[in-house]
Amino acid sequence: MSKGKIAVISGFSGAGKGTVVRTLLEKYDHYALSVSMTTRSPRDGEVHGRDYYFVSHEEFRDAIDRGGFLEYAYYEGSSNNYGTPKAFVEENLKNDRHVILEIEVQGGAQVKAVYPDTVSIFIVPPSAAELVRRLVDRPDQSIDFDTVQKRLRTALRESADIGRYDAMLINDTGKAEECADAIEYICETGDTSGHAPDLTFVEKFKAELEAIIERREKERN
Ligand code: 5GP
């Protein structure tokens, strides 16, 4: 039997999930990062084959028809369709690698139906104020007020699902390596008991985030 496991890793845009995953891949060589297929257009700085495979609707439909996806989210008429190519995942699991899927919770549930020992992990920033700071202070890109508001609202919606994950990790400033080590522990042992989602933290985070969104909205006017 393969020693490889699938880890579904989710997190708010701007929470530092990318840094954690990069640290994990640099520190341990028994991981592979799955690159999804999408029909949405590339954003500034995104690279075909690294961030996503950017494909047409026809190519996406073809992949569905030939059973090429392990899971996919398909919205008729929408340009935002996403899928996890199956061959890459199977190949790496066969070679005893853990495979990271950066996908959302419904996709994770589809994967779990096929690979029951899949672990799902949600990465959160230490506070809502820190989420805003990380979004606004990104060195690689400047984002405008409305985009920040939109991402904060998306984060608020996504935080409602954290309780459905096996584990929640708080990515405190300077703690990306600790998070990467926690993922390694979870993948190697399958034990998520020490990292169960902290729903008290989540409720506090949501209330704080709601207040920040409202305050920013008032400041704009
Ligand atoms: P974005 O367009 O901002 O890159 O991603 C939007 C959402 O799609 C995120 O929640 C991301 O995790 C999710 N996503 C990315 N790739 C996949 C995939 O292959 N399958 C599923 N189900 N969701 C995905």
Angle, helices 176-189/17-27, rounded to nearest 10 degrees: 60
What pTM did the predictor assign?
0.94
Lowest mean pLDDT among 94-98, 137-141, 148-152, 161-165: 137-141
> pLDDT tens-digit profile of 15-66?
889 999 999 999 999 999 999 999 999 988 899 999 999 999 999 999 999 9
Give residue 122's Cα distance to chain centre: 7
**Residue 140 φ/ψ, nearest 5 degrees:** -85, -20
Cα(97) to centroid(ligand 1), Å: 22
Q: Ligand 1 pocket: which of 103, 114, 122, 158 to mutate (most atoms <8 Å of CB)?
A: 103
pLDDT at 91: 98
Round the average pLDDT of the chain to a whole number and report it: 94
Q: Which residues pair with 169 in a beta bridge?
A: 123
Q: Which residues line ligand 1 (CB under 6 A)?
A: 10, 36, 40, 71, 73, 82-84, 102-104, 107
| CATH architecture entry for 6-34+99-220 | 3-Layer(aba) Sandwich (3.40)
Ligand 1 atom nearest to 83, measured from its CA: 19
> Does the pLDDT at position 132 exceed 70?
yes
In whole angstroms, how large is the CA radius of gyration of the chain? Answer: 18
pLDDT in tens, 66-76: 999 999 998 77
Domain boundaries, the chain: 6-34+99-220
Residue 142 reports pLDDT greater than 80: no
More reliable by pLDDT, 85 or 173 = 85
pLDDT at 162: 97
Residue bearing the CA closest to ligand 1, atom 11 = 103
* Contact (Cβ atoms closer than 8 angstroms) between residue 167 and residue 20: no
CA of 82 to the centre of ligand 1 (A): 6
Is 90 exceeded by the pLDDT of residue 141?
no
Residue closest to 175 by CA, chosen among 100, 138, 121, 123: 123
Using the mean position of ligand 1's atoms as its centre, give its distance from the Cα of residue 12 in Å.
11
Ligand 1 centroid from CA 84, angstroms: 9
Please enumerate in sequence order all residues whose Cβ is within 8 A of that of 87, keeping only pairs 6 or more positions apart, or say none: 68
pLDDT at 15: 80
